[in-house]
Amino acid sequence: MLDQAFVAAAAAVAVARGERATEPADVEELRALVEQLPEFRELVGTVVGEAERWAHAGATELWTFFGLTTGAPGWNDAEQSGARLLVARACAPLEADGVEWLRARMLRLAAERWAAQLTEELCRRDEDLWRRVFGERYDMIRTRYAPRTAWRKRELSNVLATDPSTVDAIRRRLAAWFVQSRDLERLPTELEAAFVETRTPARLA
């Protein structure tokens, strides 16, 4: 149904654009088209609303996975504006991959910001979070990648408190996960890979 709606909207947009119908519209023209064509404006609003609800639901599921009690993020004004332009751009002219073209780009809208926010949350949590996330692999990961503290403890939470490179690796992998996977079962593997990336001695890398 959505693909059909995009085809119909693209046809109306093409008529309005005339000779420029096959050329990619710039930002100003996209905004003008949304204002000019009521049905197109309705489609843009509907798609953006559904996409934002889907994105927020995914963020909520992720925050729950980590046991975080802070509110999961939604799109900010800039991301909402970007989403509207993406939906309009998908119809001016119609992208061959349709909804898939749009979905891939919408996933990138908030990925960096959400990854940074989630990483900050993880840095504030204690060792219990990492025990839950890694499960049976926790002891092996802790022993291999966490140095002993002054109290002879090995803790992953201490790594995040003292090693900016690991924090950055986690942020980067979370941002990529938001765009490429969103598979919660794979998330512990991605997080473990961040520790492997920055905590493996050069002689063993």
Whether residues 77 and 140 share a domain: the answer is: no
**pLDDT band for position 20 (cuts 50, 70, 90):** confident
63 found inside a domain:
yes
184 found inside a domain:
yes
Residue scoring higher pLDDT (150 or 162): 162
Torsion of CA 76, 79, 83, 89, to 10 degrees: 150
Of 65, 81, 109, the residue that ends a domain is 109
205 found inside a domain:
no
93 found inside a domain:
yes
CB 123 within 8 A of CB 167: yes
Q: How far is CA 91 from CA 75, 85, 108, 198, in A?
A: 22, 10, 19, 43
Per-residue pLDDT tens over the stretch 46-71 = 999 999 998 899 899 999 999 999 88
pLDDT reading at 205 higher than 60: no
Of 93, 109, 125, the residue that ends a domain is 109
Instruction: Look up tokens 């503290």; give the residue.
Output: 149
pTM: predicted TM-score of the whole model, two decimal places? 0.86
pLDDT reading at 151 higher than 70: no
pLDDT for position 9: 85
Residue type for 39, please?
Answer: E
CB 58 within 8 A of CB 183: no
Per-residue pLDDT tens over the stretch 92-124 = 888 877 778 888 889 899 999 999 999 999 999
Instruction: Look up tokens 């061959």; give the residue.
Output: 96
Residue 203: helix, strand or coil by DSSP? Answer: coil
Residue 22: helix, strand or coil by DSSP? Answer: coil
Whether residues 61 and 159 share a domain: the answer is: no
Rounded Cα gap, residues 14 and 37, in angstroms: 11
pLDDT for position 203: 35
Number of structural domains (the chain) is: 2
Whether residues 79 and 166 share a domain: the answer is: no
68 found inside a domain:
yes
pLDDT reading at 193 higher than 60: yes
Q: How far is CA 110 from CA 44, 74, 152, in A?
A: 18, 8, 40
Q: Kindly report the length of the chain.
A: 205
Whether residues 130 and 98 share a domain: the answer is: no
Residue scoring higher pLDDT (167 or 100): 167
Whether residues 98 and 134 share a domain: the answer is: no
Rounded to the nearest 5°, which phi and psi values hold at 154? Answer: -115, 115
Whether residues 102 and 119 share a domain: the answer is: no
Whether residues 104 and 126 share a domain: the answer is: no
130 found inside a domain:
yes
What's the chain's average pLDDT?
88
pLDDT reading at 72 higher than 60: yes
Whether residues 39 and 94 share a domain: the answer is: yes
Q: What is the SS3 assignment for 136-179? A: HHHHHHHHHHCCECCCCCECHHHHHHHCHHHHHHHHHHHHHHHH
Whether residues 103 and 36 share a domain: the answer is: yes
Whether residues 93 and 125 share a domain: the answer is: no
pLDDT reading at 1 higher than 80: no
**In which domain, by residue range, is 49 found?**
2-109
Of 109, 142, 160, the residue that ends a domain is 109
